Amino acid sequence: MDNIRFLLVIALAMISYMLWEAWQLDYGPKPAEVADVEQPTIQDSKQDLLALDPSKKAETEKTAEAVPALEVSSDKIITVKTDVFSVEIDAKGGTIRNLDLLQYPHEKENTIVNKIFALVGLDPQEKDLSPIRLFDSNIEKLFLAQSGLIANTDSVAAPDHHAIFSVENDNYQLRDGEDTLSVPLVWTNNEGLVVTKTFTFSRNSYNISVEQKVSNDSSKTWSGRQYGQLLRIPFVDDKGNTFIRTYAGGVVYTEEEKYQKVDYEDMAEENLDIKSLGGWSAMTQHYFASAWIPPSDQENQFYTKELKDYRYVIGSYSPTVSVAPHTDTVFSSHLFAGPKIQPMMEKVAKGLELTVDYGWLTIIGKPIYWLLNRIHDYIGNWGFSILGVTLCIKLLFFKLSQASYRSMAKMRKIQPRLKEMQEKFADDRQRFNTEMMAMYKREKVNPMGGCLPIMVQIPVFISLYWVLIETVELRQAPFALWIQDLSAQDPFFVLPVIMGITMKIQQSLNPAPIDPLQAKVMKMFPIVFTVFFLFFPAGLVLYWVCNNTLSIIQQWYITKQIEAEN
């Protein structure tokens, strides 16, 4: 089997798969336009989270249906600003309706590109420097973090995400010298039940602590549970790379099943209803994630639900807790909303770092990410860290690559004789195959020798690809000169062109195909890949350039050795 033919098949298969994914997402069936959205009624346990009796449930649903338009906000909006967040909290339910990640703008200025544009008399490129908005009250991008309490049927009602809270201030800011900032919201039924919902923000942290303190000054025991849920319409990355698609949807982590994707189609087909000690539920997208994390020492019920107008809910609720008269209790949970930085997420909750999704190659991807991180700790530049990881992987597979290149060099050496033999037995294909196998045996050439070592390395190459695509630390990270964002395409397409040149050089070191048609196809291979890589992130192209360059050096040296042998 010709090694280059094998590479061609693998590459074309990967390209076909990526094109199919892009086509499905861009031109496949789309949901209908989102209509005005009502506040959802939470239903579960086994699909009745409110635990209402039939009459109350009917009354609640009737009330919800009577609301004709969007009621995401009340007249009272609390704004909160920390060193990493700009947040809007609705006094209605204490719902987080807008959340901006201040340290993560949509785009960044490229100073080198702007200077070059100025030299040639062109205007600088316009960039969207506004911060990434994770939670969003815009109907077209609706994404909310909701929480509340569910009273048992024998207890008075407690505030859910429809209840109106009172607040002392409508503006909070983390001051210099302060490490935490608390935002309290208070609800009372004027009959002795008081609930204080407190959001606590910490400096340099994307983890928000949420406490719901129930003070029962009535004469009856109150019992109920807390819930936290994420509501959103399907995420669409308007500025994402057409050729790179990552998972965006729901995720649940439990002790039994561990990391489990629950995409929107799954939510539409069946409501999730599982219990687990600890665990968490999340909505993820490329580079960022949001997750409700209940206490790890209690058994939590996780659920999903499809609402009308293509809205989806994922969340969890706690076991029932009783609050005796003239006592109080505190329900606690955490809301993570931020970048998927693995070392940081590992400290927030067990398994939360798995939202950085390497798929079935996680067992290989995590060590590669660890190595990338360690190299960056010493070098301080993510571009050079990619080069370092590429070098380490090449050294790891040095012997395998050497065997592959030796096989290809031997194939190249006997290629002229094979071509003569093909012409000699042009009318007798069976005789040609017999003579060819005899020549392989005499020359000690294994036609599979170039393929098998590469097949062993393919999972590592694919894992590295996903590491480079999923690592948020590479987002807007500079390398050198005009490459000031490793997650964006090369503005001048220099790296893709260099990559195409290295592919052409590699091709010249490989044995030429005997079949003239295949030879013509192979000549187009570097051009086709160069066109595709024009739109790939610079960090990924940088890896391919480095990998190809190291391969050329190793293959050239081995080829010269084989050609010098008698």
Q: What CATH number has the domain bearing residue 304? A: 2.70.98.90
| Averaged pLDDT for residues 170-183 | 92
97 and 151 share one domain: yes
Query: Who wins on pLDDT, 412 or 95?
Result: 95
The total of other beta-carbon atoms located within 10 Å of residue 299's CB is 14
Q: pLDDT band for 335, please (50, 70, 90 cuts).
A: very high
The H-or-E segment that residue 193 falls in is: strand 193-202
As a whole number of angstroms, the distance between CA 229 and CA 147 comes to 6
Contact criterion met (CB below 8 Å) for 110 and 478: no
Amino acid of residue 428: D
Q: pLDDT band for 179, please (50, 70, 90 cuts).
A: very high
**Pair of tokens at residue 76:** 């009272």
| Nearest residue to 464 (alpha-carbon basis) of 535, 530, 539 | 539
319 and 424 share one domain: no
Long-range contacts of 173-181 (CB under 8 A, 24+ apart): 173/80, 173/81, 173/82, 174/81, 174/82, 174/83, 174/201, 174/203, 178/203, 179/203, 181/80, 181/82
| Averaged pLDDT for residues 198-210 | 95
487 and 451 share one domain: yes
| Averaged pLDDT for residues 268-290 | 93
Last residue of a domain, one of 303, 324, 357: 357
pLDDT at 356 over 80: yes
pLDDT at 433 over 70: yes
Q: How much is the pLDDT for 73?
A: 57
Look at residue 222 and tell me if it is in a domain: yes
65-76 per-position pLDDT tens digit: 322 334 455 578
| Averaged pLDDT for residues 148-173 | 92
**Count of helix runs (H) and strand runs (E) in the chain:** 13, 19
325 and 346 share one domain: yes
Query: Who wins on pLDDT, 223 or 19?
Result: 223
44 and 82 share one domain: yes
Q: How much is the pLDDT for 16?
A: 53
Q: How much is the pLDDT for 50?
A: 35
Query: Who wins on pLDDT, 460 or 211?
Result: 211
Q: How much is the pLDDT for 49?
A: 42
298 and 394 share one domain: no
| Averaged pLDDT for residues 398-405 | 74
| Nearest residue to 443 (alpha-carbon basis) of 469, 409, 397 | 409
Structural domain including 164 reads 31-357
Question: Which residue is associated with the tokens 């600003």?
Answer: 81
Last residue of a domain, one of 357, 378, 404: 357
Q: pLDDT band for 30, please (50, 70, 90 cuts).
A: very low
| Averaged pLDDT for residues 76-83 | 94
| Averaged pLDDT for residues 409-425 | 73
Q: pLDDT band for 27, please (50, 70, 90 cuts).
A: very low
Q: pLDDT band for 528, please (50, 70, 90 cuts).
A: confident
Look at residue 182 and tell me if it is in a domain: yes
Query: Who wins on pLDDT, 251 or 401?
Result: 251
Look at residue 362 and tell me if it is in a domain: no
Q: pLDDT band for 514, please (50, 70, 90 cuts).
A: low
Question: Which residue is associated with the tokens 């997420």?
Answer: 345
Look at residue 22 and tell me if it is in a domain: no
| Averaged pLDDT for residues 390-401 | 84
Give the whole-number percent of the chain exceeding pLDDT 70: 80
Strand ranges (E), 203-298: 207-216, 222-232, 249-254, 258-262, 273-277, 280-285, 288-293
Q: pLDDT band for 123, please (50, 70, 90 cuts).
A: confident
Look at residue 23 and tell me if it is in a domain: no
CA dihedral 458, 464, 466, 467 (to 10 degrees): 160
- Residue partners of 331: CB distance under 8 A and separation at least 6: 149, 211, 212, 213, 214, 225, 226, 318, 321
As a whole number of angstroms, the distance between CA 378 and CA 160 comes to 49
| Averaged pLDDT for residues 178-198 | 93
280 and 156 share one domain: yes
345 and 396 share one domain: no
Mean pLDDT of the chain: 81
Contact criterion met (CB below 8 Å) for 146 and 97: no
228 and 267 share one domain: yes
As a whole number of angstroms, the distance between CA 411 and CA 415 comes to 6
Look at residue 140 and tell me if it is in a domain: yes
How many domains is the chain partitioned into structurally? 2
270 and 383 share one domain: no
| Averaged pLDDT for residues 29-34 | 36
pLDDT at 201 over 60: yes
Look at residue 318 and tell me if it is in a domain: yes
As a whole number of angstroms, the distance between CA 211 and CA 543 comes to 46
Last residue of a domain, one of 304, 324, 357: 357
Look at residue 152 and tell me if it is in a domain: yes
Q: What are phi and psi of 474, to 5 degrees?
A: -80, -15
- Residue partners of 491: CB distance under 8 A and separation at least 6: 110, 113, 482
Query: Who wins on pLDDT, 464 or 201?
Result: 201
Instruction: Please report the sign of the dihedral spanned by the C-alpha atoms of residue 201, residue 336, residue 358, residue 133.
Output: negative
Classify burial at 391, counting beta carbons within 10 Å of its beta carbon; exposed 0-12, middle 13-18, buried 19 or more. middle
Q: How much is the pLDDT for 447?
A: 62
Q: pLDDT band for 35, please (50, 70, 90 cuts).
A: very low
The H-or-E segment that residue 561 falls in is: helix 538-564
pLDDT at 417 over 70: yes
Q: Looking at 12-26, 290-304, 448-462, which range is the least confident one?
A: 12-26
**Pair of tokens at residue 448:** 């599979």
| Averaged pLDDT for residues 235-242 | 68
Q: pLDDT band for 227, please (50, 70, 90 cuts).
A: very high
406 and 426 share one domain: yes
| Averaged pLDDT for residues 176-194 | 92
From first CA to last CA, the distance across the chain in angstroms is 25
Q: What are phi and psi of 435, to 5 degrees?
A: -65, -35
pLDDT at 476 over 80: yes
Q: How much is the pLDDT for 562?
A: 65
Q: pLDDT band for 504, please (50, 70, 90 cuts).
A: confident
pLDDT at 84 over 70: yes
| Averaged pLDDT for residues 385-411 | 81
Classify burial at 140, counting beta carbons within 10 Å of its beta carbon; exposed 0-12, middle 13-18, buried 19 or more. exposed
391 and 534 share one domain: yes
Question: What are the start-end ranges of the H helices in 425-493?
Answer: 429-442, 452-470
| Averaged pLDDT for residues 313-324 | 94
Q: How much is the pLDDT for 242?
A: 55
pLDDT at 58 over 70: no
295-304 per-position pLDDT tens digit: 999 999 999 9
Classify burial at 485, counting beta carbons within 10 Å of its beta carbon; exposed 0-12, middle 13-18, buried 19 or more. buried
